Each structure stands twice: as C-alpha cells, then as structure tokens.
Chains A and B, each alone.
Chain A
Amino acid sequence: MAEHNTTGKEGEEIARRYLENKRYSILEQNYRTKRAEIDIIAKHKGILVFVEVRTKQNERYGTPEETINYAKRARIRRNAIAYVHRARYNGLWRIDAVCVVINQTKGAQRVSHYENIVEG
C-alpha cells in the first residue's frame, strides 16, 4: 500500500478511537457502496453522525482542514443522504469532520473534531 493510503487508514483509526472516547457509538467504518464512501458513521445523543476524516503527516504543505472544500462537502452530503434513504432513517442527522495530524512515530499530533460542517 502506498504511504498516503496507510496514513489515511491510521488517521481513521485515531479518529474512531477519539470518537469512542467521546461516547460516540460507531455504526460503520469505511462504509462503501458503488458510488459512495463514508469514513465513519456513528450515533451520538440520538443524532446520526457522518464523519469525514482528513489526515496529514505534517502541516508544512497545508492543514487537513483546508482540504475540505465546497465540492467535498457537497459530496459528503450526497453520500449521507444516500445512506439516510437506504437505511430509511427518519431522525436528525449531521455531518462532522475529524482532522488528524500524525507524525513519523505514528502518534497523533493533533486531533480536531468539527461538528456540523454541512448545513442544509
């Protein structure tokens, strides 16, 4: 596996543990359909939460936050709606982002959680 792919995987692991610590119950990780991919789907305080994880090895060439642009948000939203329909979910849901920076020794240097990054 190429280096950036393993970085992504590790980032998602860190994010999952982080959310579990925050008492999020993880429903799905790396949920995939033909078109869609959702990093983490969790439930927190009765709200269905779709989590996009962004990971970077360092912040020299930009922060993970910067990689979430308008098109990305729109894609996440589309995927989330697809899931909501498929699961026939009829409650409140939202989209979060977890940004992870990991260093050479593979420890988490920074984990930032942003709630409700897409509004409808």
Chain B
Amino acid sequence: MLIKVQSAANSGLEAIGVDVEVSVSNRGLPGFDIVGLAGKAVEESKERVRAAIGNSRMEFPQRKITVNLAPADILKEGSFYDLPIAVGIMASVLQYEVPKDSLFFGELSLDGSLRHTKGAVLMALFAKEQGLGNIFVPFPSANEAAIIKGVNVYAIENLSQLAGFLLGKTALQPIVYEEHVEHVEDIEFDMAEVLGQEYAKRAIEIAAAGAHNILMIGSPGSGKTMLARALPGILPRLNEGESLEVTKLYSVAGSMPPQGSLITTRPFRSPHHTISQIGLIGGGSKPQPGEVSLAHRGVLFLDEFNEFPRSVLESLRQPVEDGVLTISRARERVTYPCRFMLVASSNPCPCGYLGHSKKPCICSPREVKKYRKRASGPILDRIDLHVDVPEVDIAKFAENQKASSLSEPSSAIRERIAVVRQKQAVRFKGEHIFTNGEMKNSHIKKYAKLSREAELILTRAGIQYQLSARSYMKLIKISRTIADLADVEYIERNHALEALQYRSKAYELD
C-alpha cells in the first residue's frame, strides 16, 4: 500500500515541496525505515512517531514500513516531518483517504500531542502559493500560520483528534485569524526619564525618524545605553508588509513564542560583545538568520561598540549597506533580509573620560588612537550620525528630579516620528523602500532636493573635511530627514547645517 502526504522543507525563507511517501508492505520482517536524505532529527522521528501512535490508543502496524521523502536529493532537516509520516502510517491502519490538497507539518511529542514547531508561517505561505487549500499545523503554532490569508489553517492538538477528523467522525473548523488590537508594550525606559542630553535626544529622534545608523560616544554613566533602550518606545509600529517579513524571520529562527501571532512591534536586538561572527551575521551548515536579520525593520544595538572583535564588526559592512545578506554554504545558499537601524555606543577612550569636563583622562594619545582604531574607517563611514553624549551635570540632575515633567515623554516623540515615517512611506511608494535611511543615490537625486544654499554648504563641507562620497550622500539623507521633521519639501540651509553637526569627528584625533 502506498500513501502520499504533502509537506515541505525550508531553505532560508523559501520552501520546497516534499512528498512524504509511506509504503506499507505485506511481506518480510516488520521494520521502519526512512529514506530520502533524512537528517538526524528526521531519523529520530521514527521513535517519536512510533511512540505517539502507540500512545494515542492506535495500533502501530507490524509491517515493513518504508518512508521516502521526495525529492530524495535535498537534505531534510528538522522535526516537522513527524506529522506527515504519522498521517501516512495511520492511514494504512485506519484506511482513511489522505486529503490531496493539504499540507501537514509538525513535531510530535511521545504522548501523541503536537509541539510548537518553527517555520509555520513559511509553510502556510507555501501552501497558499502552491494552491493547497488546507494546512494542518500544531495547535501552538496555528496563530502564526493563520496570518496567511487564503489557506484553511487547522490547529491540531493531538493525533487522535486528527485521526477522528480524517475519518470523518469529528468536525474541525479552520481557525480564524484575529487581528490583535492590543499591543503589549515592553518598554524599559521612557525618553522623559533620560535627563538632559537634549542634543543626543535630538539625534536619536532624527535617527529614528529616518532609520539612520547612529553612534553615541560618551563617558561611562552618561546615559548612552538608556537612550538606546528608550528607542523602541519612540519607533512607530511595523506596517503590514514589514510585520510579515519580521514574523517570517522569527518563525524560521524558532524565536516565535507558542501561540505567537503577527509581530507588530519593532525588534530590538542587543547582543553582547562576545558574539561570534556567525551569531551576528547568521550561518551554520543549514544557515540560520543571525542577529542582523532578527533586527530586521528594527534596531540592532551594539553596546560597547569598540569591545566587539574587529572581525565581527567588519562583517557588518555589507549588511549595513545592502539590507540583505546571502549566506553561502557548501550545501545551500540562502538570503535573509537585514534592513536594520544600527545603534552603537562607545566610550571615547579606554578610561572613558576623554573630553569629560571634570574628570581627567589618564589615557595616552597612543592608547586613545589604538582604542578608536578597533572600529575601522569603513565601518564608521557607514554610520550616519555620530553623537557625543557628554556627562550629566549632577546639580542640574538633582534639580530636574524635582520637576521631572520637563522632558518630553516617548509617546509624544513617537507620534511625531510616526507622521514623518508616514510621509516617507508615501514618498517612496513603489520604490520598495520605506525610509530615508534606505535611499540609494538614484533616490537621493529624485527625492532629496537641496536648495542652492544648502548645496553650497554641503559641498564646501565635503571639501573642507575631506568627506568620502558616501559620507556626503549620508549628509544629504540626514538633511532630508531633518527637513521632514520640519515638514518642508526642500532641504534648506539650516537643515544641512544641522546634519553637518552629526558627522564623524574621528579625524579630529590626529
């Protein structure tokens, strides 16, 4: 008897159809084999399927069972073939028809229940693209799959329930996607809590408004980390397209919580500086997304920027620039998006007090130079805004504590930013970009029109400070965002002048 069940394998964010063929023979010694380039997790699936069927008060056939995962030339990895294999084997005993237009996907527990399995969104999307009407997924992963409209998503709790449905004994309704209106806000700091630092706050606001990269340099305790951590509170929510991109990445990475649904808040990733290159960029023999991709459409915060290994920082060059990343390994090549906003913070020197108004810096110029050189020119050149975050005046701080209403709360800033982001979305409609930070040279020519005065200032600055072509373009991008915040179409003199304040000051060391 030959039974066919449809499933799929994922390679990066793409899915490939996999036919799970189950042959149950009436000859020879009973046995259970899986062929078709099955990886370790799939090989182990045998034991899970056997126990799960047995523990669901069903008979596991004492026959020679051969499972083939076709096409047989691509490596099958992951635990989600458990369900299609079990469906095929149960069909040989219970004699039900396996529905043809359905995709099965999920990991089994030994007791016959289905476990949360990564990649549900991708599978549902694949089912839709292939014109399969139904997808059977584990109950904890069903909310994820249900994001994709146009496919019936059946949430399966255990094998007995599924068997009952396939036999036509019990009814099962596809789950309906409910748009979650409530947003769980998990914001550590409000901008109002950061005292003083008006200059840095302004820079953060510009960065947030246009999704520009930003580097904050300041002495210990000045509030760099706090500013960065307050960022999620001022960023607008993800739009529909962005949400789906982010949710797909998190689903593939296995970072979706059980019962999780569409991700609508921007990711904020803050890896420790001991991170490896693969951890940051992604990789492995079956390439997984790294931190840069998990920060897609959100923030990648690198605290203590200069403490990261140089090789790790250098590997950021291309992703920062391109917003997509192709990871090539011997067996496969996958592309993950990584359009993130880089937020870095660093001390000005090893002791941390260079430029401090009261504390003396004890570093020699050579030490300072060495410290600064840990982040290379090409990396710093890719960061749009460079901001000094000076120490907080304690006298002022105590005074402000009393009247804490002085600072603007995050919610007010967020509203302002949402307006500016909306304006950008309208501007770049049809260009496949969302923000000023993503503009390529052609976009700049088209959308960032400079007034004559502004152009003059920027050109003169370019010559004076020997700016690279990229830095020059970045200045225009920042000017564009500043002009957007001021709600004007033409970039004027004062916008260009403000943008100039945020240029890299690394050269001043020499």
Contacts and interface: CB of A to CB of B under 8 A. Distances in A.
A80 B27 CA distance: 14
21 contacts: A47-B62, A77-B29, A80-B29, A91-B26, A91-B27, A92-B28, A92-B62, A92-B64, A93-B28, A94-B30, A94-B62, A95-B29, A115-B62, A116-B30, A119-B29, A119-B32, A120-B28, A120-B29, A120-B30, A120-B31, A120-B64
Interface in B1-59: 26-32
B487 to A, nearest CB: 74
A94 B27 contact: no
A118 interface: yes
The range of chain B's interface size is: 10 to 19
Given A115-B62, A116-B62, A120-B64, A94 B29 contact: yes
B31 A119 contact: yes
A90 interface: yes
Contacts of B372: none
Interface string A72-108: 0000010010000000001111110000000000000
B493 interface: no
Contacts of B28: 92-93, 120
Given A92-B63, A94-B62, A119 B30 contact: yes
A93 B31 CA distance: 11
A119 to B, nearest CB: 4
Contacts of B29: 77, 80, 93-95, 118-120
Contacts of B27: 90-92
A80 B28 CA distance: 11
A77 B31 CA distance: 13
A115 B59 CA distance: 14
A36 to B, nearest CB: 16
Contacts of B64: 92, 120
Nearest to B32: A119
A90 B27 CA distance: 7
Contacts of A93: 28-29
Contacts of A77: 29
